[in-house]
Amino acid sequence: MSRGLRKFSVETIAVLASVVIFWVPLYFVLLTAMKSAPEASEMNLAWPSKIQLWQNIKNVVAFRDHMLLRAFWNSSALTILSLAAMVVVCSMAAFVMQRRNDKATPWISFFVLAGLIIPPAIVPTIWVLNEIHLFKTLIGLVLVEVALGFPFSVMLYRGFMAAIPREIDEAAVVDGYGGYRLFFTIIFPLLQPVTATIIVTQAVFIFNDFTNPLYFFPGAKNATVQLTLYNFTSQFVSQWNLLFTDILLITLPPLLLFVFFNKKIVAGMTTGSVKG
């Protein structure tokens, strides 16, 4: 076989494999979400006799007193608040950790990096949140997300900040700038590329997070979108179509983000995972 032909067939096989491995499951979700309950329970790839996607969406949204809408609201609020706090808090911390160089710095780095390895102690965290009256509140959950995203974000910020010359700081000091003015008017705007990366990647993680809301944000009123999916599994045993409509709806936001920020997300994931 000639080189060109062999290359062509390898590519064809790869594309076909990608269709089977990645598109079929997605197609299956979409198809099931369009079906009626009896047809959905057959679990096959047959085209629905009648497309009732819109009807399913209306049903799943109306279910349990519009719980899904509240969940979308909670999840969006959680994601936005966590990101806002994370960006400010982590960039400030990274600034000092990267610029300063004294006896304490290695220790601080050690504690922060330990956060990447240590599994969070769950019940004691509930206890602490309870003591400060933030258990079962959105703010409490935001604090948890910020704390858990802190090591990763600081790592990204520090790596990027190392490339910003200290001469800038010196020039600003000569001009009479203080630390805060230097950071907020000069350094922070320069960090914009990493900030964007952190926002996009962490948005996906927080929006998709299941474990933390499960532990720290219990109660029907508090549900996030991932929790509705989990709660619906027990209630929709005979209505797979609605369960899959829910899957479709809550997958949409990350999907859109992915379509628009594909490159950014990938860049962020790699720089974050390979230590710089």
Partner 1 sequence: MSKVFKRIYTYNFLLPAAIVYTVVFIVPTVMSFFFSLTRWTLFDWTFIGLDNFKTFFQEPSLSIGFKNTLIYAAVTCAAKVVGGLLLGVFLTSKIRTKDYLRSVVFFPVLVSTIAVGIAFSMMMHPTTGLFNTALAHLGIEGPDWLGDTKLALLSVAAVDVWKGIGLATVIYIAGILAIPEEYSEALQIDGGSSWHKFWNITVPLSRPATNAVIILSFIGGLRSFDLIWAMTRGGPGFATDVIASIIYKQYQGGFYGLATAGNVILFLFVTAIVYPLSRYLTRNEVDL
- Show contacts with partner 1 in window 96-115 (CB under 8 A): 96-97, 99-102, 108, 111-112, 115
Residue from 34, 161, 182, 206 binding partner 1 (CB under 8 A)? 182
CA nearest to 224, candidates 82, 56, 68: 68
What is the rounded CA–CA span in Å between residue 1 and residue 46?
38
Long-range contacts of 214-220 (CB under 8 A, 24+ apart): 215/122, 215/125, 215/126, 216/125, 216/126, 216/129, 216/135, 216/136, 216/140, 216/141, 216/144, 217/74, 217/136, 217/137, 217/138, 217/140, 217/141, 218/136, 219/136, 220/64, 220/67
- For residue 183, state whether it binds partner 1 (rule: CB under 8 A): yes
Please say which residue, 50 or 263, places its beta carbon nearer to partner 1. 263
Does 87 participate in binding partner 1 (rule CB under 8 A)? no
Residue 78's nearest CA partner among 222, 268, 231 is 222
Check binding of 218 to partner 1 (CB under 8 A): no
Q: Interface with partner 1 includes 269 (CB under 8 A)?
A: yes
Q: Of residues 225-264, which lie at the interface with partner 1 (CB under 8 A)? A: 225-226, 229-230, 233, 240, 243-244, 247, 250-251, 254-255, 257-258, 262
Gap between the Cα atoms of 101 and 2, Å rounded: 60
Using CB under 8 A as the binding rule, whether residue 78 contacts partner 1 is answered as no
CA distance 94 to 92: 5
| 61 is an interface residue for partner 1 by CB under 8 A | no
Radius of gyration of the chain (CA): 24
Q: How far is the CB of 245 from partner 1 (least distance, A)?
A: 11
CB of 127 to partner 1, least distance (A): 6
**According to the binding rule CB under 8 A, does residue 129 interact with partner 1?**
yes
CA 161 to CA 105: how far, in whole Å? Answer: 16
Q: How far is the CB of 72 from partner 1 (least distance, A)?
A: 13
117 binds partner 1 (CB under 8 A): yes
Within positions 14 to 43, which residues make up the interface with partner 1, using CB under 8 A? 14-15, 18, 21-25, 28-29, 32, 41-43
Q: How many CA atoms lie within 13 A of 54 on its CB side?
A: 1
147 binds partner 1 (CB under 8 A): yes
Q: Residue 84, interface with partner 1 (CB under 8 A)?
A: no
173 binds partner 1 (CB under 8 A): yes
Q: Is 1 in the site for partner 1 (CB under 8 A)?
A: no
Q: How far is the CB of 221 from partner 1 (least distance, A)?
A: 20
Q: Does 93 bind partner 1 (CB under 8 A)?
A: yes
Is the C-alpha dihedral spanning 12, 17, 23, 24 positive or negative? positive
